[in-house]
Structure 1
């Protein structure tokens, strides 16, 4: 026993040393990369002490707002830190993260569609975030608290809640969300507080009938039908500002106190559904008679005056319409303007977040989704967009004159490129902003496509992803069809690989993998996040733009809706056999998301070999890149000979083999055997994570291994 007692101090010392070793250990490489990406996306704010975009040890060095367990980051709390930027694209690497609070900042753009999967608490309230609710929320089965309120989120909510059995509080209030409530919302078995007020949600609320709620706020939406009887037992129920058939009567305006701004108190209901009770005071019977007479007189007089005004208004409208019908000059859309004014007057005023874009919110509040558009509703008499169009276009409307000035009248010197729909010009605006303008050739649009132009650009303007070139504006004035995009100034991947002297040497192996991953994420977003899925149909290296850091940005997303029918675009026989298009397109003319996957595999082959998909200058057996390369992808010796000479042999052999495996499954001839883009993304992420470990060990982000002469090497 004495010997055992004597050994206890040493055991305690060893235990303490073990704890110190864990505490001093380097943070997980994936976590470091994710935080570094966040820091860069926030433009390296000085208030985040300890943070760095070039690696480091967040756990050991105690970065501001970061909490760890061992070597893994478990919490990020940076509320009210005046952060300005985006949420990056590597949040999903934070596998141990449980809590993330980035509320009360100035974060913008869309919420990343890949979020940390093990979160229990997520608060992104009071920012400037736009886009839709990311699909990855549906996989966060441990989530208990979710607050996305006071942003500019739009589109439908989506079926996200079927597996969120732990969620107790959900706040998506003060956004621009549309559509009906998803059926999966009825599966939130543990939710007690639900805030959806001040959106543009519609339909019934029957899916909420069986929830055990203590608080439900659905005020100021477009809900209709009846309020289910089951909801009447909810202690804090707020439903005002909707169109329910059994809505309780609203109290007189003078008795209703002004609503509090829930932006400052997002988790407190605005009050019960019933009107406030006004205490009765005893009134003398003679006083009642004295008060009744004036009230009746006021009521009768108001009705008479209102009737006269209504009669005069109808008479004026009738005379105006008759005069316009008889006139030979161009008619004016007086009725349309009146309808817009009435619609705007009837819109509820929604409190606007202090740090949100007021103009953007106001612009979208006047526009409601509608069915199929007709030319009379979409276009005014001079070919410009009518102001009463019902399409919710979030992009900026430009005049032809402004775009002519910015492009120097679309001169040859401003020309950036040309595609099947028209030419693209560089636009330099007087305020110093540089954009890209795609001038669509009207001959390439059918009558139907012209009529639905606004609907198409409305859908395109909603595509928000860090690897997709965003549509920022449009012009339909005087019959023109122009699209305005952000300008990405480092050229296309196609030009850098095939036409630039020496530029392809800057595309290191790690850079090429990063380009593949970025474009794969863009396609994954189009195919698996957007509802309905978006088929690119023109995925190729010339549509991948690179910025100064060689990050990829996919262009022409959503333009397939404007493109001519693929069967009459080019010869199906040629395109199906060579180039980027999949074999099924040659056989049947069909093009699906799996066809995009094939095209992605061809672009990966370009990155691997530096060759064009179709090169008639080579000998016949090597003209088609896919036919030439596919048989060699699983032979390590032949694979090494295929690598782009511009890389000068600097690449990890194991990583090269995995890269080739991904290519092989993407370019399979049978569409059903090609993987979904989410699977491709995961394989590329794993490849990048292994590369991060190597870079961390070498302390050089641009490091690559030269393949030994034996051919295989021992790198990743």
Structure 2
């Protein structure tokens, strides 16, 4: 009995042991499943930040400001696929605040809907999720401009930012070929419709109503639209025939004409009704009024057969003579203008809308006449007007100006007056800035750049600015108009990595620009001036500066329309804020650059691309070269050109380029101040990007968008994800502004 009891006890113990083991295995399996279900850390970080910028609203159940598991804990409005967040839908939740500054790390997100809330009060952050297919920000309070990062959302199908307070469109639509729905209605947009809209070849619904758009809608004529609403704007011109067949077309509240866009001015059409071409003048439907009158008299002739026929023949003869004169005149105009364009190497007068179009080419010479259009070709008056316009001497030429076919600054800067109200900057008086700088005291002098001295200015509200005094009087005959034109262009540039224009002053022969003041000075000073105050730039911060500067150039080259070439990109023009975010300065100054003193200075010689040194030809690719030199400075800690070095090492590019693909030599090149604290793979990829940028042949250098992507991949592969969200909209850093791997 005892043995039986003992056997039963052992059996029971064995069963208990098995049960216990099974339970442990079950718990382990559950734990394992829980781990695999956890949301990706980047997605958690982005949603934590988003929750904080929304002021931690209570309606968002299960959301937390730190850590958490959005996918496993069923956060309100969040849908996941595996461990990735794929949709955020929070419409009509009464939310306030704004979007998170680091939402670009939500790389699996395909839909973001925060419509019908009270978000905004400032610009839409440019760090939006890059792979969105649907973005709905309708009916919020966003102001400022539509961020350029939307330009690169090639998967985007639906974009609705209607009913906000946006006033600018920094978006190029060329890559948005999948976009089918675009709603920009009920905002404060103005100006003409972007030309790049014509590239949105899948667009079927476009709502632009209740804005202040001007110009024509011709750019929309080839789109497959079925729903177009442009009501209550300031649009004009004719409605293209292709748009008249749209099933849902709403155009009221504009100044459209009722006829389709004419191929030639409608002056004659309104004076005589259309008529069938006669046998004596086949196909001539564009008649001068006097010719039409002759034809009518002849064809109506019921008074006498002979009289009618005589008049008809006379009309045809006159028409033939006039046409011959027109053709001969056009040929004469063609050769005169061709000869004149060859002699002057400059053509056209933009003030007069001359039909002559000239295009500079890389050699510095020009293509000859590209097209001649003659207004009212059979009208003597129209012919005389056109020929006289074509023969008008070109406007004054800056003999020191250099040209490039991709340089948008080659056009003469003259022309129509600028509407000062369109300038997005404060108009200061000289007295204001004198007081703020203590009469431009030497104590407030903080630097001297290519275009003038820069002073520290403390405005009455304790706002600190950097005021640049520009001397234009030696360069131009009418510096005041030129300066206002320059300010208008610069004020349109809007990117977190550009130096922000705060205001300007044009009084009493004084030309001043006021920019945001950046405490850490320039990258050049940070790298090359050892005053015992500046701390060493860590590797992460160097990569951050390179990436931010690259994004600034990408914006100027590939987002701005027309594109903007910097021409003077160098480390002294990269300013650093408190968090060591870069802000590129002197943007939009390209028209002042072709200047012998500037081109021949030692400081700039190290940044100049070979083609600029040889021919003075600037382009986007010469900017890419200069950017590569700045990357070399970040890598080595050396100056772009340094006479204190032995001759073979004076030019940084000449010394460093042969060593960029030699691992051992590369380690020896690195700035000693880094003390070896950098990842070897990250260093190698950084060197690869430099090698591409500083190639001597411009055609082999990559566009800035590719440089940006290579740096982004470098960051991602080096576990430096936090660097991707470092920009002027990102104000969350540790005390040192640094990041650990």
Aligned pairs for 1:269-284 within 5 A: none
- State the SS of the aligned residue for 2:564: coil
- State the SS of the aligned residue for 2:255: coil
Are the structure 2 counterparts of residues 180 and 631 from structure 1 closer, same or farther at C-alpha, using a change threshold of 3 Å? same
TM-score (norm 1): 0.68
Which of residues 154, 174, 193 is equivalent to 1:140?
A: 154
Q: What's the offset of the Cα at 1:534?
A: 0.7
Does residue 27 in structure 1 map to residue 40 in structure 2? Answer: yes
Does residue 651 in structure 1 map to residue 664 in structure 2? Answer: no
Distance in 2, matches of 1:28 and 1:498, equals 38
Are the structure 2 counterparts of residues 160 and 583 from structure 1 closer, same or farther at C-alpha, using a change threshold of 3 Å? closer
Asked if the contact 1:86/1:107 (under 8 Å) is kept, the reply is: no
Does residue 129 in structure 1 map to residue 143 in structure 2? Answer: yes
Distance in 2, matches of 1:157 and 1:201, equals 18
Asked if the contact 1:492/1:544 (under 8 Å) is kept, the reply is: yes
- State the SS of the aligned residue for 2:86: strand
Correspondence for 2:669? 642
Which of residues 162, 175, 181 is equivalent to 2:188?
A: 175
Does residue 479 in structure 1 map to residue 509 in structure 2? Answer: yes
Asked if the contact 1:113/1:134 (under 8 Å) is kept, the reply is: no
Are the structure 2 counterparts of residues 84 and 121 from structure 1 closer, same or farther at C-alpha, using a change threshold of 3 Å? closer
Q: What's the offset of the Cα at 1:233?
A: 6.3
Are the structure 2 counterparts of residues 73 and 664 from structure 1 closer, same or farther at C-alpha, using a change threshold of 3 Å? same
Asked if the contact 1:414/1:426 (under 8 Å) is kept, the reply is: yes
Asked if the contact 1:393/1:457 (under 8 Å) is kept, the reply is: yes
Correspondence for 2:658? 631
Aligned pairs for 1:374-523 within 5 A: 378=417, 389=419, 392-443=422-473, 445-447=475-477, 450-502=480-532, 505-523=535-553
Greater CA radius of gyration, 1 or 2?
2
Distance in 2, matches of 1:501 and 1:545, equals 18
Q: What's the offset of the Cα at 1:110?
A: 6.1
Which of residues 196, 199, 202 is equivalent to 2:209?
A: 196
Correspondence for 2:690? 663
Which of residues 524, 527, 537 is equivalent to 2:567?
A: 537
- State the SS of the aligned residue for 1:416: strand
- State the SS of the aligned residue for 1:442: coil
Does residue 98 in structure 1 map to residue 128 in structure 2? Answer: no
Asked if the contact 2:130/2:152 (under 8 Å) is kept, the reply is: no
Distance in 2, matches of 1:51 and 1:669, equals 53
Distance in 1, matches of 2:422 and 2:133, equals 33
Correspondence for 1:585? 612
Are the structure 2 counterparts of residues 427 and 62 from structure 1 closer, same or farther at C-alpha, using a change threshold of 3 Å? farther
Aligned pairs for 1:100-119 within 5 A: 100-103=112-115, 104-109=118-123, 112=126, 116-119=130-133
Q: What's the offset of the Cα at 1:611?
A: 1.0
Distance in 2, matches of 1:64 and 1:502, equals 52
Asked if the contact 1:179/1:202 (under 8 Å) is kept, the reply is: yes
Correspondence for 2:702? 675
Are the structure 2 counterparts of residues 685 and 156 from structure 1 closer, same or farther at C-alpha, using a change threshold of 3 Å? closer
- State the SS of the aligned residue for 2:122: strand
Q: Per-residue displacement from partner, 1:384-403 (whole Å, max 9, x unpaired)?
A: xxxx8467212111111111
Are the structure 2 counterparts of residues 533 and 51 from structure 1 closer, same or farther at C-alpha, using a change threshold of 3 Å? farther
Distance in 1, matches of 2:252 and 2:227, equals 17
Q: What's the offset of the Cα at 1:186?
A: 8.2
Does residue 163 in structure 1 map to residue 162 in structure 2? Answer: no
Correspondence for 1:555? 585
Correspondence for 2:594? 565
Asked if the contact 2:51/2:57 (under 8 Å) is kept, the reply is: no
Q: What's the offset of the Cα at 1:131?
A: 3.4
TM-score (norm 2): 0.66
Are the structure 2 counterparts of residues 524 and 77 from structure 1 closer, same or farther at C-alpha, using a change threshold of 3 Å? same
Are the structure 2 counterparts of residues 172 and 432 from structure 1 closer, same or farther at C-alpha, using a change threshold of 3 Å? same
Distance in 1, matches of 2:494 and 2:124, equals 6
- State the SS of the aligned residue for 1:622: helix
- State the SS of the aligned residue for 1:476: strand
Correspondence for 2:3? none
Distance in 1, matches of 2:63 and 2:606, equals 45
5+ unaligned residues in a row in structure 2: which ranges? 1-21, 260-410, 724-733
Distance in 2, matches of 1:479 and 1:508, equals 45
- State the SS of the aligned residue for 1:668: coil
- State the SS of the aligned residue for 2:422: coil
Are the structure 2 counterparts of residues 547 and 190 from structure 1 closer, same or farther at C-alpha, using a change threshold of 3 Å? closer
Asked if the contact 1:162/1:185 (under 8 Å) is kept, the reply is: no
Asked if the contact 1:521/1:681 (under 8 Å) is kept, the reply is: yes
Distance in 1, matches of 2:597 and 2:720, equals 49
- State the SS of the aligned residue for 1:200: strand
Are the structure 2 counterparts of residues 32 and 420 from structure 1 closer, same or farther at C-alpha, using a change threshold of 3 Å? farther
Distance in 1, matches of 2:479 and 2:64, equals 49
Distance in 1, matches of 2:49 and 2:528, equals 30
Are the structure 2 counterparts of residues 212 and 671 from structure 1 closer, same or farther at C-alpha, using a change threshold of 3 Å? closer
Distance in 2, matches of 1:547 and 1:64, equals 37
Q: What's the offset of the Cα at 1:676?
A: 0.7
Q: What's the offset of the Cα at 1:159?
A: 4.3
Q: What's the offset of the Cα at 1:87?
A: 6.3
Are the structure 2 counterparts of residues 623 and 38 from structure 1 closer, same or farther at C-alpha, using a change threshold of 3 Å? farther
Q: After alignment, is 431-440 or 94-103 more displaced?
A: 94-103
Are the structure 2 counterparts of residues 391 and 156 from structure 1 closer, same or farther at C-alpha, using a change threshold of 3 Å? farther
Are the structure 2 counterparts of residues 36 and 504 from structure 1 closer, same or farther at C-alpha, using a change threshold of 3 Å? farther
Distance in 2, matches of 1:95 and 1:684, equals 17
Are the structure 2 counterparts of residues 422 and 97 from structure 1 closer, same or farther at C-alpha, using a change threshold of 3 Å? same
Distance in 2, matches of 1:611 and 1:470, equals 28
Q: After alignment, is 398-407 or 443-452 more displaced?
A: 443-452
Are the structure 2 counterparts of residues 110 and 703 from structure 1 closer, same or farther at C-alpha, using a change threshold of 3 Å? closer
Asked if the contact 1:110/1:464 (under 8 Å) is kept, the reply is: no
Distance in 2, matches of 1:648 and 1:133, equals 39
Q: Per-residue displacement from partner, 1:251-292 (whole Å, max 9, x unpaired)?
A: xxxxxxxxxxxxxxxxxxxxxxxxxxxxxxxxxxxxxxxxxx
5+ unaligned residues in a row in structure 1: which ranges? 1-8, 248-370, 379-387, 706-716
Correspondence for 1:277? none
Q: Per-residue displacement from partner, 1:397-425 (whole Å, max 9, x unpaired)?
A: 11111111111111112112111111111
